[in-house]
Structure 1
Amino acid sequence: MTDTDLSNLTAMIARAEVLVTDLKAVYERDLQAQIVSVEALNITHEIVEKCSNVMDQAMTLYFNRTIAPLLIKLPRRGGYFPAARNEES
């Protein structure tokens, strides 16, 4: 893992933390209004998407650094860490 890779992951995690802070404020506002706003739904989606991206990139970096060098033949796609059971899902 290079310094750039680590910096990118750190920046993405920091952004997710900012989104969580934003979401707390939106949730408090929505709770007072007894609604679930589109903004709350969108921020929630952004957080899940960001965290999924961080996990994918971290696993890809780990794969490339520790597993790939031990393989005789690399998979055609490199490391692939799907969110679904298979590519059709």
Structure 2
Amino acid sequence: MNKRERQNKLVQAIQENRQITASELATKLNVSKRTILRDIQDLEDQGVKILAKHGKLGGYQLQETPNSYEIELTENQLSALFLVLNESQSISTLPY
């Protein structure tokens, strides 16, 4: 099993168990605990939200994030936002 497959199985195992320790993941995936810790760090660097809980009842779980955000803007607020974003693209950081 390559690294990508292992990391996919790692995420899947965390989802299925809701909370699982690094040792349990290592046993389940037949790798060392250190490999699991490296994979978790790599997944976090890729943007996967993994929450670690320390202590006797600790373990790893995926952090739930909302799928969408609802923003209510008036027509004037929307126009102002558009103008600010449009103007910010023309500003240069060059000294001349």
Question: What TM-score comes out, normalization by structure 2 length?
Answer: 0.27
Of Structure 1 and Structure 2, the greater strand share is in 2
Tell which has more relative contact order, 1 or 2 (C-alpha 8 A, sep 6+).
1
Structure (1 or 2) with the larger CA radius of gyration: 2
Question: What TM-score comes out, normalization by structure 1 length?
Answer: 0.28
Of Structure 1 and Structure 2, the greater helix share is in 1
